[in-house]
Amino acid sequence: MKKIKILMVLILTATFFVSCFEDDTIDTVEPNHRVIVTSEMNFENTINPGGHIDFGDLSRGVTTRTWTFPEANTQIAGEDGNTSSKNLIKGLFYQPGVYNVTLNQTFKGDVYPNEDSTVPSTNRELDTTIVVTVLDWVESNLKAYYVNDDGSTGDELDLSDNAENEIIASKYVRLTYSAVGEPEEIVWSSAGGKPTSLETSDGVEVDMRFGKLGSWDLQYIASRTRPTDADTIFIKNFIKVLPSTEPVDLDRVFEKEGKIALEFSREMDPESLNRNNFTVRIENGGTTLNPAVSSAVIDSEEGNIVLLELENEQLYNDDQIFISYTPGSLRTLDLVDSEAFTDALLTEFTNLVNILPDTDFDYGFEGTDTSNWPYLWWGGHWGEFTHSVNLDNPRSGNYSLEVEYNARGGMIISHRDGDGNDLNFSVENGKSYEFGYYIYVEDLGWDLYGNMWNSDIRFYPSNWAFELIPTTFNEDFPTGKWVYQKQTFTATFTGDVTWLIRGYNEFNNAPIKFYLDDFILSEVPFRP
């Protein structure tokens, strides 16, 4: 009996060790998996002429492989022909064009063809094609034209050095280019231009205004980031700006470093400034202030800007600031007297810090498309509109939002991601903000019937806590140029919201077409 018990213990012990051995010898063979990489895979395999790309076959379970390159204008480093069986190779590409590099692989067994494959393919032989793009070097051809007073293109200018094409102060030159090599950014620069630098990413022409007397060079740079290349053209003494007998225009009134900035169409004579010829009126919440102007000087950076400093008074973003000029001695450098102006409104504060770039809200329309600005299906005239995020007329970057209200129509849209979630920004209860944007009205279509309300654009936070009406369309609204529109508010809640944009055109017999770009939301000081 005792022997039987001992035998049973030996049998159980042997069974235990066999079981443990079997557990430790589970099949750990890795599955066959296709993985192919290149050194430029994050940049669409795009390179300069004469550049190279490293190709890697990191697949598991490969028994044979063959890389095949086009026979013309390419080379596999270290190989005599246009094929290779190595897992890592360097490919060289000598001429612009599009090249197909193929990889034929044979695997030991069934293979997962992609990184996200959940079911293996029973086909053990796989072919892969990698498309390589070799861009031309960036090269450009330039042309320039006078701009006629009606905005049409005038005579062509001479682009030779020292041509000194003559132009009257405050007139425009139309600059155009054609280029190969797919440049991403075009920058035109001239110290005599206003502004001194103009950037574009897709437009083939820009208009540069010249208001400073004298001869000025012109520089053009076309560049791309990846693969890196640039074409620079410098034209010495391109333009010669002559005195004008035409009236000088007040183009813009804005705040700069706490002062009132008056931007004229051409350079002003610093000897002609007299602070006593200017008056300022500030309106805020039923209060009217008439501060004295303590100084009037030419801006040190821009000769066409006059800076007015107030005596013992600060400018606040919720102020309505009006400036008037009584004719005195103010004149341009080409000796044209400034005409009187009354109640010119200060429209911009340059001390704004836009909080929207640090949020999900696409303030410049560069990261979203039309589907991210959906109609909210209110029905009736609220759906009588068309809109599109497109390349037609950006103020900055590549895109803007094109909107057209139908006659007797309207609009209601929001801002959402692909899953229908609001793309938000945050506000805090009790804090004051300036909300603004730039609008370009192409077709005003102002044709009200009866004594009815003007058309407008209204903004609501997505919790409907308040209403803003930055833009009201009337017969005097400027067209054909970008205009900054703004409204200030104090938040009555703390939270994340997006903008609901409501367009109103119910009592207008004509459509209105415009573009929106460069939204701004900035925390600002209000007058105590």
Percent of the chain with pLDDT over 70: 93
DSSP structure class, residue 5: H
Lowest-confidence region among 69-73, 247-251, 318-322, 452-456: 452-456
H or E element at residue 111: strand 111-112
Q: Give the burial class of 223: count Cβ atoms within 10 A of its Cβ; 0-12 exposed, 13-18 middle, 19 or more buried.
A: middle
Asked if the model's pLDDT at residue 479 lies above 70, the reply is: yes
Q: In the prediction, which pLDDT does 6 show?
A: 37
SS3 at position 243 = coil
Instruction: Please say if the pLDDT value at position 182 is more than 90.
Output: yes
Of the pLDDT bands very low, low, confident and very high (cuts 50, 70, 90), residue 365 is very high
Res 25: pLDDT: 44
Reply yes or no on whether the pLDDT at 26 is more than 80: no
Q: What does pLDDT average to over the chain?
A: 90
Q: Do 391 and 434 touch, CB atoms closer than 8 A?
A: no
pLDDT per residue as tens digits for the range 124-144: 999 999 999 999 999 999 999
Positive or negative, the CA dihedral 489, 491, 495, 500 is negative
DSSP count for the chain of H helices, then E strands = 1, 41
**How far, CA to CA in Å, does 506 sit from each of 412, 447, 448?**
13, 11, 9
For the cut 50, the answer to whether the pLDDT of residue 335 exceeds it is yes
According to the model, what pLDDT value does residue 484 have?
Answer: 92
Radius of gyration of the CA atoms of the chain, in A: 34
Higher pLDDT, 301 or 93: 93
**Between 246 and 458, the higher pLDDT residue:** 458
**In this predicted model, which residue has the larger pLDDT, 116 or 403?**
403
Amino acid 53: pLDDT? 97
Residue 442: closest CA among 513, 388, 389: 513
Q: Residue 21 pLDDT more than 80?
A: no
Asked whether the predicted pLDDT for residue 12 surpasses 70, the reply is no
pLDDT of residue 29: 60
Neighbour tally for 375: CB within 10 Å: 13
Name residue, tokens 């193929």. Answer: 102
Q: How do residues 408-449 score in pLDDT, each as one tens digit?
A: 999 999 999 999 999 999 999 999 999 999 999 998 887 776
| More reliable by pLDDT, 114 or 69 | 69
pLDDT for 450 equals 58
Q: What is the pLDDT of residue 202?
A: 65
Is residue 320 within 8 A of residue 434, CB to CB? The reply is no
Q: How confident is the model at residue 13 (pLDDT cuts 50, 70, 90)?
A: very low
In 339-421, the DSSP E strands lie at 341-345, 348-349, 385-390, 400-405, 410-413
Neighbouring C-beta atoms of residue 315, cutoff 10 Å:
19
User: What integer is the mean pLDDT of 117-130?
Assistant: 89
C-alpha to C-alpha distance for 62 and 128, rounded to whole angstroms: 14
Domains of the chain: 32-134 (2.60.40.10), 139-242 (2.60.40.10), 250-347 (2.60.40.2180), 356-523 (2.60.120.260)
